[in-house]
Structure 1
């Protein structure tokens, strides 16, 4: 990989090669180094990398690539969750929820009888 293009004779008049710009941008976007560390590593100016990223259409704020887990590991996690929470545990939770709902219904009935007020709205009223 060539750092400078051959258009100019000295470093100060040179233009960075397109291949070098892409390489540096990809190294930053891989997420291993910060902008400052990349700029120091390749002896670039303070805003050179930011300029190159903007040139290539990367948003300055959201420039990092997010690594996603591969599907095999996701499937393994799902299998582990399924094995941990077996069908019997789910049935037990359902039974407890039904009992709790029945308890609330009874409490409302008792409160309506003792205090002689309508707590539950009737279906045909507005």
Structure 2
């Protein structure tokens, strides 16, 4: 890894889990980590319940847009965190891969998404520690 590690979060629609994880990593990493997110089948917009849940934690993801997963995004990342993208995520030997098993927030209300959000925050905080980056808040 370079001086500034890069992390790619991947889920199917890039509308909930990966957007929340990327937002937390960008926020808590304080610019010390390059952050990307993408989906194997991107949705038209970020999940409104995810937007609302993140706003409760003073993080605004309303302007984010789902992006398509590219081979280049995987190649350019030191760590690839998958969240239910299955076999559609390209694999490159030598990359660090993690699979975070999280409920899909699609079709869920804010109450359910809060639980997913909180679980993601804990995983992101652990990832920051593993990367040797002190979380800021």
TM bucket normalised to smaller: under 0.3
TM-score normalised over the length of structure 1: 0.23
Which has more radius of gyration?
1
User: Which structure dedicates a bigger proportion of its chain to strand?
Assistant: 2
User: Which structure dedicates a bigger proportion of its chain to helix?
Assistant: 1
TM-score normalised over the length of structure 2: 0.22
* Structure with the larger RCO, 1 or 2 (CA within 8 Å, 6+ apart): 2
